[in-house]
Amino acid sequence: MAIDALSDKPARMFRPLPAVVFAACAWLLCGSVIVIVGWLLANGLPKVVSALGPRGPESAIGPLFATAYITVLALPPAAAVGVFAAMGASDVRIFGAAAGSMRSALSLVGSVPTVIVAYAALLAAAAVGWHPSLTGAAFVFAIVNMPLMTGLALRALTTRAAKLREVATALGAPPMYIVISVLLPRARMRLRSAYIIVATQIIGGAATIAILAGANVPASRGALPIHAWPLAVHIWTRGSSADVYGVTAASALLLAVLIWVLQGIAQLRAAPESASQEDL
């Protein structure tokens, strides 16, 4: 049983229902993927391999590659800036009375689905004649996810931290020393959950845009906004190559499962702590 290190009382168990619902959905999605992959395999392995292979702009591997590339590039700066901003914002002596308003603003900005902001930014870039590369897209995703990371890291640092901060301050510790030596190590588990949540946001956003833009994203030579049609429109207008979109749909499902699994891990890791620890 989890032990609340501060009170020495056993932590309250979180309600199991969301976990059960999540597990059921995850298994359903996994089952769907298995069925689709099985169907594809039944239609001939060589055909599937050639469809998945990197053989040009219609390659179904494109969205997967684009998503991975954007995530690897966007997560470290988003995480680093978010944690550092949260370290500053967690101390009222740095931001004074503005700290409260700043937290509210972070919650508000962080709650906007980043995929919308990122997609708008990419379309705006294309509209002014700048055709974003994947690196540019990663940069956009890093920036739009910073408020979310800051908000989550801030919560991780400040949850049930008031008494600890008070005690450490009374012992003559400077504010940043308290954050680094007391609050950060204590918030490690919650910060890990925050990384996973932000990673899933980036993966989800990048995958959505990659799929919307068709398989052209890695090439990105003027791919946006001309090819930035919804997948359904692609399939409707280019029905002759529906097999390729079948594979794209399969990759989308795989991504969805990946996101659900990561978010599930984050939720499960965060739930016992958040259930037993209230903000002071």
Partner 1 sequence: MQERTPLETKIEVGKLSVWYGSEPALRGVTFDVASKTTTALIGEGGSGKSTLMRALNRMHDLNPEARVQGSIKIDGAEILGAGVDTARLRRNVGMVFARPTMLPTTIGDNVMFGLAAQGVRDERSMREAAERALRRAGLWEQMADKLDAPASPLPEDTQQRLSIARALAVDPDVLLFDDPTAMLDPIAALSIEDVIARLRRDHTIIIATNDLQQAARLADITIYMANGEIVESGDTPLLFNKPGDVRTEAFLAGRNPRGAVS
Residues that bind partner 1 (CB under 8 A): 5-6, 8, 92-93, 96-97, 99-100, 163-174, 177-178, 181-182, 185-186
Residue closer to partner 1 (CB basis): 178 or 196: 178
Cα–Cα dist 85/109, whole Å = 14
The minimum distance between CB 5 and partner 1, in angstroms, equals 5
| Distance separating the N- and C-terminal Cα atoms of the chain | 24
Q: Which is nearer to partner 1, 50 or 181 (CB)?
A: 181
Per-position b or e across 66-105, b if 16+ CB within 10 A of its CB: bbbbbbebbbebbbebbbebbbbbbbeeeeeeebeebbee
Which of residues 167 and 233 has its CB atom nearest to partner 1 in the complex? 167
Residues in the chain: 280
- The smaller minimum CB distance to partner 1, of residues 52 and 99, is found at 99
- Cβ proximity to partner 1, 155 vs 186, nearer residue: 186
CA–CA distances in Å: residue 205 to residues 74, 110, 131, 146, 260: 11, 14, 18, 14, 13
Q: Between residues 7 and 50, which has the closer beta carbon with respect to partner 1?
A: 7
- In the complex, least distance from residue 213 CB atom to partner 1, rounded to whole angstroms: 47
Instruction: Name the residue type at position 251.
Output: S
Specify the DSSP class assigned to residue 161: -
SS3 content of the chain, % helix, strand, coil (to 5): 75, 0, 25
CB of 172 to partner 1, least distance (A): 4
Q: How far is the CB of 173 from partner 1 (least distance, A)?
A: 4
List, in order, residues 6 or more apart from 17 with CB less than 8 Å away.
none
CB of 170 to partner 1, least distance (A): 4
Whose CA is closest to 68, among 174, 207, 201?
207
Least CB distance to partner 1 at residue 187 (A): 10
Q: Which two tokens stand for residue 36?
A: 């689709």
